[in-house]
């Protein structure tokens, strides 16, 4: 069962069925070239709906820097951990691109997948790295890992996935549209922007740009559109 309510300029849609993959808005919104999607945790909704999307992060950049720099220590350099490169790569995004921009997707289902990350993508990366470090034998960074877990693990435990539907300002889209004007469609029946799974915005986006918030069940699973299958839409033409 899906429910919908309008609050101020923003519609709130609740999708209770974790297996419901249908696009939850109308055909006009789906085809609107200015509409993009941001998957996140509902715990961040108060800030987003009050202040819009801004570059201030829900985690402390110093914490991420200390975790990242730990991999250059003699402890890690002297040992060949199979998972080390994997975790370091996760922190690279949190300390780099995620620290200076807000990511949106032209594809609703990709944003839905991002919303599954507990506490948000960067928070989940930080927590996973810290859990790994905290279990390493005689690791000098266990205190750092435990301190970060105290701060960030509750955000994962209370996670509720949601997607924001946002109409990006014209000036945010001009540069991207110029880059992809000859871009092959991700699928013939989808808007061209659906092939753009990562659109980075480097300026604040006002809360007035939010069209809707879509709340999901905690049990939703990842799903990716396939080129040989139609997208789950409520209309047929």
- What one-character-per-residue DSSP string does 126-193 give? HHHHHHHHHTSTT-TTHHHHHHHHHHHHHHHHT--EEEEEEE--HHHHHHHHHHTTTPPPSSTTS-GG
Long-range own/partner contacts, residues 177-183 (CB < 8 A, 24 or more apart): 177/33
- Report, in angstroms and rounded to the nearest whole number, the Rg of the chain calculated over CA atoms: 19
- pLDDT at residue 145 is higher than 90: yes
CA angle 71–76–80, rounded 5-degree value: 120
19-23, 70-74, 76-80, 225-229, range with the lowest pLDDT: 225-229
pLDDT band at 183 (very low <50, low <70, confident <90, very high): very low
Q: Which residues are registered as beta bridge partners of 157?
A: none
Per the listing, tokens 């989940």 go with 124
Domain range annotation of the chain: 1-55+103-118+159-237, 56-100+121-158
What pLDDT was estimated at residue 143? 94
Average pLDDT over all residues of the chain:
82
Between residues 71 and 173, the one the model is more confident about: 71
Range in 35-44, 63-72, 84-93 the model is least confident about: 84-93
Query: Tokens 């889209």 sit at which residue?
Result: 173
Q: Sorting pLDDT into bands at 50, 70 and 90, what band is 182?
A: very low
Report the share of the chain in percent with pLDDT over 70: 77
Q: Examine the pLDDT at 133 and tell me if it is beyond 50.
A: yes
- C-alpha span between 207 and 52 (Å, rounded): 4
The average pLDDT across 37-47 equals 90
Asked whether the predicted pLDDT for residue 124 surpasses 90, the reply is no
Query: 75: Cβ–Cβ under 8 A, 6 or more apart, which residues?
Result: 139, 140, 141
Q: Band the pLDDT of 64: cuts 50, 70, 90.
A: confident
């Amino acid at each position: 069962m899906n429910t919908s309510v309008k609050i101020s300029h923003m519609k709130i849609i609740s999708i209770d069925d974790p297996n419901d993959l249908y696009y939850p808005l109308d055909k006009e919104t789906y085809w609107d070239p200015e509409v993009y999607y941001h998957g996140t945790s509902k715990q961040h909704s108060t800030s987003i709906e009050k202040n819009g999307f801004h570059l201030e992060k829900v985690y402390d950049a110093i914490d991420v820097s200390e975790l990242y720099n730990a991999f250059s220590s003699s402890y890690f350099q002297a040992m060949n951990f199979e998972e080390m490169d994997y975790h370091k790569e996760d922190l690279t995004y949190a300390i780099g691109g995620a620290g200076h921009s807000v990511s949106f997707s032209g594809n609703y289902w990709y944003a839905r997948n991002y919303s599954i990350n507990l506490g948000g993508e960067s928070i989940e990366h930080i927590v996973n790295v810290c859990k790994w470090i905290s279990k390493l034998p005689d690791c000098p960074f266990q205190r750092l890992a435990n301190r970060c877990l105290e701060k960030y693990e509750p955000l994962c435990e209370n996670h509720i996935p949601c997607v924001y539907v946002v109409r990006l300002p014209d000036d945010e889209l001009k540069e991207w549209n110029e880059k992809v004007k000859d871009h092959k469609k991700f699928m013939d029946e989808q808007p061209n922007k659906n092939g753009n799974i990562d659109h980075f915005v480097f300026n604040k986006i006002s809360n007035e740009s939010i069209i809707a918030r879509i709340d999901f069940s905690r049990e939703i699973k990842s799903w990716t559109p396939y080129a040989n299958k139609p997208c789950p839409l409520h209309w047929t033409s």
